[in-house]
């Protein structure tokens, strides 16, 4: 099995594509052969209004792509149709597949949405429906509960499915992880933010407290395999080296699904890294508690909606943008963009670069002396200001001069919950 580097990414596609022949690895992947769904959008171009008004319409248009020079690839296909995994692209839908009951569910729990479940949502009552990736007992479910108390949590089997669940009105919101204090960024969700048209309307951070779970009666020295979400495995690498040094480490779709898999298949030699709530839901015992390599292990989740919220100034706000540099700006563009914020005393809280979707590599130099290949990036920046503030609007106007496209992903209240009062994810 191929070794998975310690910088795990949560990209299911890359998990699936892992070469299974590499030898002597402790890490490998459990593959359920999931195929990512392809979603297409209408091509649209937007303009940036002069100044941001207070109406939803004004704000909505200012949240759109400001100078959409990359629209074509992102919006490659024509209709609002979803191609299903089994190749059924005729748009036919089966409303009965929306898994809102547990009739067929193991353990009587709600089964996650799959690609084939994505169909227009039926009308519903007033309870907010919140999509998350994973099954009940996943940390993402806890994050959805913190973000939207008293909501109905809708499990989805992939991040992409959660995005689509909101776009297709199956859910009203999605809550998805973007970064963990130990494991780093969840790149897949950064890429999906650009591919989809949802708006960031909030953020929540939850402390992630991992346990090692096994079937009741199984002794730790009998464990030959540990399975979990790659992020959870990365966050417990040190502890697992001590607790189960000889066990193979295998990636799974999510932490709670790993616990469920052990319970369903009666696996005596396998343990899962998951929450105490997952142990309770799937009838497993806790072999070790608090096995995250840092006690302050925290994951940050974004709250996503079809419509943006109107930015305010009466509480701390964050704004997230994504942009690509203009070719003629050369190598100094990032410096110029960051200066636009620094000169206005706007703090940046996060910067992430991802390969440019349309043009990941550019050839530079003249033909006489050979050519060099320069990697092209899309940059994601979070900054501490509300788009209702003039300084933020001016900063973005300046940034726009250096970029080939710029999109405001959302302007939303910061999660300022004090650490000591953060609810534990597993209570
Ligand atoms: O598998 C889960 O329980 C999840 O909710 C996913 C996830 C992640 O994607 O990072 C969320 C929080 C933890 O950092 C570990 C895993």
Output the six-digit token pair for 175: 């809550």
pLDDT at residue 377 in the model: 86
Rg, C-alpha atoms of the chain: 22
Task: Tell me what the mean pLDDT of segment 229-235 comes to.
Answer: 95
Residue 243 near residue 21 (C-beta atoms within 8 A): no
> Ligand 1 site: residues with CB under 6 angstroms?
10, 134, 138-140, 177, 180, 186, 208, 229, 231-232, 254-256, 299
What is the CA angle 242-253-265, rounded to 5? 80
- Residue 169's Cβ-count burial label (10 Å; 0-12, 13-18, 19+) is middle
Cα(55) to ligand 1 centroid in Å equals: 36
Flag whether pLDDT at 241 surpasses 90. yes
Cα(290) to ligand 1 centroid in Å equals: 15
pLDDT at residue 6 in the model: 27
Which atom of ligand 1 is nearest the CA belonging to 253?
1
Which atom of ligand 1 is nearest the CA belonging to 138?
3
Percentage above 70 pLDDT, the chain: 64
pLDDT at residue 125 in the model: 59
Task: Tell me what the mean pLDDT of segment 343-358 comes to.
Answer: 92
Question: What integer best gives the mean pLDDT of the chain?
Answer: 75
Output the six-digit token pair for 94: 């089966």
pLDDT at residue 332 in the model: 82
Which of 97-101, 272-276, 363-367 holds the top average pLDDT? 272-276
How far is Cα 107 from Cα 264, in angstroms, rounded to an integer?
Answer: 9
Flag whether pLDDT at 243 surpasses 80. yes
Which of 87-96, 124-133, 324-333, 404-413 holds the top average pLDDT? 404-413
pLDDT at residue 410 in the model: 98
pLDDT digits (tens, 9 = 90+) for 279-330: 999 999 999 999 999 999 999 999 999 999 999 999 999 999 999 987 665 6
Residue from 376, 385, 373, 379 nearest 413 by CA: 385
Q: Is 299 a catalytic residue?
A: yes
Quickly list H helices, 111-158: 139-147
- In degrees rounded to 5, what are phi and psi of residue 395? -60, -45
pLDDT digits (tens, 9 = 90+) for 52-61: 334 434 444 3
Q: Which listed residue (18, 236, 299, 319) is catalytic?
A: 299
pLDDT digits (tens, 9 = 90+) for 47-106: 333 333 344 344 443 433 332 222 333 333 322 222 222 222 333 222 222 233 333 334
Residue from 270, 281, 273 nearest 237 by CA: 273
pLDDT at residue 369 in the model: 62
Residue 417 banded pLDDT, cuts 50, 70, 90 = confident
pLDDT at residue 386 in the model: 98
Cα(208) to ligand 1 centroid in Å equals: 8
For residue 286, what is the enclosing H or E element?
Answer: strand 285-289
Flag whether pLDDT at 276 surpasses 80. yes
pLDDT at residue 331 in the model: 67
Looking up tokens 């919101």 gives 173
Cα(138) to ligand 1 centroid in Å equals: 7
pLDDT at residue 40 in the model: 28
List beta partners, residue 350: 382
Task: Tell me what the mean pLDDT of segment 99-117 comes to.
Answer: 48
How far is Cα 9 from Cα 185, in angstroms, rounded to an integer?
Answer: 8
Which atom of ligand 1 is nearest the CA belonging to 299?
14
pLDDT at residue 206 in the model: 95
Q: How far is CA 394 from CA 88, 298, 323, 390, 400, in A?
A: 47, 33, 16, 6, 10
Residue 29 near residue 1 (C-beta atoms within 8 A): yes
Q: State ipTM.
A: 0.93
Between 181-185, 261-265, 310-314, 330-334, the lowest mean confidence (pLDDT) is in: 330-334
Q: How many C-beta neighbours within 10 Å does residue 244 have?
A: 21
For strand 129-133 and strand 173-180, is the pairing parallel, antiparallel, or unpaired?
parallel
pLDDT at residue 81 in the model: 25
């Amino acid at each position: 099995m191929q070794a998975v580097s310690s910088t795990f990414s949560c990209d299911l596609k890359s998990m699936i594509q892992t070469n299974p022949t590499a030898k002597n690895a402790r890490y490998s992947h459990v593959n359920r052969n999931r195929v990512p769904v392809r979603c297409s959008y209408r091509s649209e171009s937007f303009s940036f209004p002069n100044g941001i008004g207070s109406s939803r319409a004004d704000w909505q248009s200012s949240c759109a792509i400001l100078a959409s020079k990359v629209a074509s690839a992102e919006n490659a296909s024509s209709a609002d149709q979803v191609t299903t995994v089994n190749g059924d692209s005729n748009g036919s839908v089966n409303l009965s597949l929306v898994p809102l009951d547990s009739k067929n569910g193991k353990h009587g729990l709600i089964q996650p949405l799959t690609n084939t479940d994505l169909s227009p949502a039926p009308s519903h009552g007033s309870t907010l429906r919140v999509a998350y990736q994973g099954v009940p007992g996943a940390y993402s479910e806890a994050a959805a509960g913190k973000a939207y108390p008293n909501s109905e949590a809708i499990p989805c089997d992939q991040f992409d499915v959660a995005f689509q669940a909101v776009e297709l009105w199956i859910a009203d919101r999605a809550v998805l992880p973007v970064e963990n204090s130990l494991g780093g960024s969840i790149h897949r969700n950064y890429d999906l933010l650009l591919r989809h048209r949802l708006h960031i309307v909030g953020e929540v951070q939850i402390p992630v407290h991992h346990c090692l779970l096994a079937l009741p009666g199984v002794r730790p020295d009998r464990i030959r395999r540990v399975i979990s979400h790659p992020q959870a495995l990365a966050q417990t690498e040190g502890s697992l080296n001590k607790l189960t040094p000889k066990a193979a480490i295998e990636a799974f779709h999510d932490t709670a699904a790993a616990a469920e898999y052990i319970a369903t298949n009666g696996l005596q030699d396998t343990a899962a890294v998951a929450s105490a709530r997952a142990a309770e839901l799937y009838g497993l015992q806790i072999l070790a508690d608090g096995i995250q390599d840092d006690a302050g292990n925290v994951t940050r989740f974004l709250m996503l909606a079809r419509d943006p919220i109107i930015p305010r100034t009466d509480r701390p706000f964050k704004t997230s943008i994504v942009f690509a540099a203009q070719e003629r700006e050369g190598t100094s563009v990032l410096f110029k963009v960051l200066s636009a914020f620094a000169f206005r005393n706007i703090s940046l809280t996060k910067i992430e670069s991802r390969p440019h979707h349309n043009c990941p590599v550019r050839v530079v130099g003249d033909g006489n002396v050979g050519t060099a290949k320069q990697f092209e990036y899309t940059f994601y920046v979070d900054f501490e200001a509300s788009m209702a503030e003039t300084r933020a609007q001016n900063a973005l106007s300046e940034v726009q001069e250096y970029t080939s496209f710029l999109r405001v992903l959302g302007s939303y209240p910061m999660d300022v919950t004090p650490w000591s009062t953060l609810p534990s994810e597993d209570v």
